[in-house]
Structure 1
Amino acid sequence: MLNHQSIFITGGTGTLGSAFLHKILATYPQINTVTIYSRDEMKQYELRRRYPSVKYPMIRWVIGDIRDQERLHDKMKGADLVIHAAAMKHIPICEENPEECLKTNVTGTKNVIHAALDNNVKQTILCSTDKSVDPISIYGNSKQAAEKLFLNASNEHSKFAIIRLGNIWGSRGSVVPLFKEIGESGKLPITHPNMSRFFCTEEQMTDSLFYTLETMQGGEIVIPKMIARKITDIAREIAPNATHQIVGLRGFEKISEKLVSDIELPRTSENAYYWIINSSAPSTTQIVKDARELDSQYASKTIFNYLLN
């Protein structure tokens, strides 16, 4: 699928970008070029040590910011597909710096879209988050806006789609490395005893990108079927001897997240591994058929139980 293709990854040194890079290099030996476009020179330095140019001459390393429309446009020339993973993601920092969050996550996304359209990129995928569903934080609102921009960008030459993910297990800044770091202190901060989050693995994340690249028509949102886990359960697994200190919800946090909004449900279909929110509504018959074809053990965990009951 990706042999002889040129790929451009914004935020290419992050968890998603580096995992996708590893996967495509292992799977497609005849790939043309992969451009890693990111603004953090230290992360690029560290990743370049893992992929030296002598062994991986197909990788292009570019320092750049998605806010810089001119540089983004220039460096995207010749790309066949774009993975847009660059974003401000740390929710408290976004709350403290809302203007910066909007410049990166909204204006930067608009720049990616315009550069892809101007360069006739065939496929562009936005990596989004469950925080975009009924958002209450500036981060969630900025990603919802980025999704809206993508959903309206496709034309006859360039297709745009979205993957919507939960928390990536073990990624930088997430609860897992935090609990590992402070677990030995004997006390873990828990915002709410009932708080839960959706988690996906790096494999689910990269598989979602490949699935979307293979099937996208433009204007859809693909969501891997993730499991919601209580934060207290994760804390017990990582630090079984630590006590829990309930610190209370912050104003930008929910007790639980949603993967699909009520407005999106009528446009949502599913298969064994993904929910797909389409740009137009599928028939009720097809929704019911897709849901009932699932293996019963898995179907018990899906959103369609609520839809069909």
Structure 2
Amino acid sequence: MSLMTSPWRARLPRIAIATHDLAMVWLVWYGLHVMRYAVAPDAPEIHAWSIETMLVLAVQGAVFWYVGLYRGLWRFASVPDLWNILKASVIGLLGVALGLFLYNRVDSVPRAVLVLYPVVLAAMLGAPRLIYRAWKDSQAEGRQKSSTRVLILGAGQAGEALLRDLRRFGTYQPVGFLDDAPRLRGSKMHGIPVLGRIEELPDIARETAAKLVVIAIPSADATALQRIVGICERSAIPFRMVPRLQDVLEGRSLPGELKEVAIEDLLGRKPVLPDWKAIRAWLGGRSVMVTGAGGSIGAELCRQCARHGARRIALVEIDELALMTTEGALRRDFPDIELIPVLGDCGDPAVARHAIARAQPEAVFHAAAYKQVPVLEAQLREAVRNNVLATHTVAQACRDAGVGTFVLISTDKAVDPVNVLGATKRMAEMICQALADSPTRYVTVRFGNVLDSAGSVVPLFREQIRAGGPVTVTDPEVTRFFMTIPEACQLILQASAIGTHEAVYTLDMGEPVPIRLLAEQMIRLAGKQPGRDIAIVYTGLRPGEKLHETLFHADERYRPTQHPKILQAEPRKVSGTEVAVSVERFRDACSRYDLDSLAVLLRGSVPEFVPIGNRMSTHSTATVVAFPARQSRKI
């Protein structure tokens, strides 16, 4: 029964409105006649109902329907609706006059009634609508007293979608758009006006009493976003942004979620877009193993492999909490993926053989490494043991087990090494080259600094800003190449998918980023001003650091690959026999904790290694490079 009556329930409000309007038509027609003849001495008898009255109701009702008077809602009655009512009244008058002329030559209708009819009818129909809207608006204002007034930057598709979402939430009250397009000036979107240019935000925000600014320009590049963020900061109002489509598709943001502007959004380089088709074709259905699976890169690499088709993932990690955390997140997000957690040091041959035997991987990603530059300058033995010997152990275990692909995750610091990290990573690259005569395909991937990775400069700056400063920068001129964690892992998968035998790949990372500028932008994103609210202190370069990193070595001729942002280097020639001898000597020196021998071996095995200051320590202490110790952090 309810299904049969539901259409009538939907029509009831419009039937009630039509009844109201026809009642107003009768009241105006009858009332004007009464008023006209009230002052006449020989007034005829006025009947409330007559053929003339029925004719007026029929004609005027048809006109109301024709002009679409019942397509709108009283709740949103406005000037266009009043204009529509006036138009319907005038057209109705013409129809009534024509009908009465055909009926009785308009003999019984005073001319004053015909003149006043459209004006009075428009007033009688419009007034109730406006009164109803005013009442509903007053109720809405009562509910929205605690809502946040929002200005939206960008009147495009993203801005329109944001407007609908904000209205759906009910806790936000959009008050206007700002857009630099001249054609949009003065226009409206869903009743919300475009108030001016983005540059005018501080003044318009003050005039509209806005409490929040939302940037709805997901296509803006880093330069444009830096400009917009600067304007938002001058307005002294909190601001958020609509996430990019790529962040939503990759699960880093939720649809409709407003996020804070992150430092990676302000990088002076567009993120590299991978060839997902090639990655899925290579990775789909494979079993893979990741060493260092609990680290920043290792954990994200596991997620990327799971997201793009791997059927089994072995997680090798020495830190039990990191292993448990990564495994739990993967089981929650990818319940259909087979996971094999292995707790242990991948530099232990038994652990490496056990993990490979259990997982039977077709590809191994070696992400386990020490990477803190100042720490490793004072910890040479552990740097060699983990970055060199563990790489040899895993790479050799892959060769012995017939694993199809071994991927070494290296660094731009291995190009022209001046510190222990760079030298040990370069030695790891040489080990992979020396083993390349086997069926296993050895691929090396180099990239620069990774934003927000464990121990990197971004979380350190964030913590210093949270504590009220100062923010410590080594040198006002220091620069680094940066990329995001997901982007770094996508590069690894992309290079693995297109990799050839004994290949070394690097990313064309564009222009380096001044660390000073990075610190200033992070301070501003926190709603503070550099130098005024948060001080920046320059501490001087630390052990093993240089002002500028390089991505390419002079002896490695680079050529483009099928991906426009990934370059393949021609590896420098190495002697497999000499590398094997060096590895055994490293192993022997590590077993004796002989720092002097390790220092000499590292210089001899990596000829291009020229330490900053060119002074290796000859003391049998933990300090290998003769520099004063400073508080450590990685840039």
TM-score range, shorter chain: 0.7 to 0.9
* Contact 1:270–1:276 (CA under 8 A) maintained in structure 2: yes
Residue 269 of structure 1: which of 556, 559, 582 is its match?
559
1:141-180 equivalences in 2 (<5 Å): 141-180=423-462
RMSD, aligned CA: 1.8
1:203 shift after superposition: 3.1
> Corresponding residue for 1:7?
288
CA distance in 1, matches of 2:498, 2:572: 16
1:1-309 equivalences in 2 (<5 Å): 1-28=282-309, 31-52=310-331, 55-77=335-357, 78-184=360-466, 185-227=468-510, 228-240=512-524, 241=529, 242-264=534-556, 267-271=557-561, 272-279=564-571
CA distance in 1, matches of 2:558, 2:386: 29
1:156 shift after superposition: 5.0
* Contact 2:387–2:425 (CA under 8 A) maintained in structure 1: yes
CA distance in 1, matches of 2:339, 2:353: 18
CA distance in 2, matches of 1:156, 1:97: 33
* Contact 2:474–2:538 (CA under 8 A) maintained in structure 1: yes
CA distance in 2, matches of 1:204, 1:225: 12
* Contact 1:208–1:222 (CA under 8 A) maintained in structure 2: no
SS in 2 for 1:76: helix
CA distance in 2, matches of 1:105, 1:210: 21
After superposition, the Cα gap between the structure-2 partners of 1:115 and 1:248, relative to the gap in structure 1 and judged at 3 Å, is: same
Q: Which has the higher contact order (CA 8 A, sep 6+)?
A: 1
SS in 1 for 2:518: helix
CA distance in 2, matches of 1:253, 1:84: 25
Equivalent position amino acid for 1:63 in 2: L
* Contact 1:152–1:219 (CA under 8 A) maintained in structure 2: no
Describe the superposition over 1:240-270 as per-residue Cα deviations: whole angstroms up to 9, x where unpaired. 3222211111231000101111122xx2112
Q: Which has the higher strand share?
A: 1
Q: Structure 1 residues 50-59 or 117-126, which shifts more?
A: 50-59
SS in 1 for 2:288: strand
1:56 shift after superposition: 4.5
1:280 shift after superposition: 7.9
> Corresponding residue for 2:115?
none
Describe the superposition over 1:177-207 as per-residue Cα deviations: whole angstroms up to 9, x where unpaired. 1111101423211111110011112232122
CA distance in 1, matches of 2:295, 2:496: 20
* Contact 2:283–2:497 (CA under 8 A) maintained in structure 1: no
CA distance in 1, matches of 2:503, 2:313: 25
Please give the TM-score of this superposition, normalised by the length of structure 2: 0.42
* Contact 1:192–1:246 (CA under 8 A) maintained in structure 2: yes
> Corresponding residue for 1:285?
none
1:57 shift after superposition: 5.0
SS in 1 for 2:283: coil
* Contact 1:219–1:278 (CA under 8 A) maintained in structure 2: no
Equivalent position amino acid for 1:93 in 2: V
After superposition, the Cα gap between the structure-2 partners of 1:215 and 1:57, relative to the gap in structure 1 and judged at 3 Å, is: closer
* Contact 2:377–2:543 (CA under 8 A) maintained in structure 1: no
Q: Structure 1 residues 33-42 or 150-159, which shifts more?
A: 150-159
Describe the superposition over 1:35-71 as per-residue Cα deviations: whole angstroms up to 9, x where unpaired. 0001000111222221238924501111111220122
CA distance in 2, matches of 1:273, 1:127: 17
Please give the TM-score of this superposition, normalised by the length of structure 1: 0.85
Moved over 3 A (4+): none
* Contact 2:327–2:339 (CA under 8 A) maintained in structure 1: no
Equivalent position amino acid for 2:448 in 1: G
Stretches of structure 1 that go unaligned for 5 or more consecutive residues are 282-309
Q: Structure 1 residues 97-106 or 12-21, which shifts more?
A: 12-21
Equivalent position amino acid for 1:38 in 2: E
* Contact 2:447–2:507 (CA under 8 A) maintained in structure 1: yes
CA distance in 2, matches of 1:123, 1:51: 23
Describe the superposition over 1:259-285 as per-residue Cα deviations: whole angstroms up to 9, x where unpaired. 111122xx211252112102489xxxx
Q: Which has the higher helix share?
A: 2
* Contact 1:153–1:159 (CA under 8 A) maintained in structure 2: no
* Contact 1:190–1:246 (CA under 8 A) maintained in structure 2: yes
SS in 1 for 2:391: helix
After superposition, the Cα gap between the structure-2 partners of 1:181 and 1:73, relative to the gap in structure 1 and judged at 3 Å, is: same
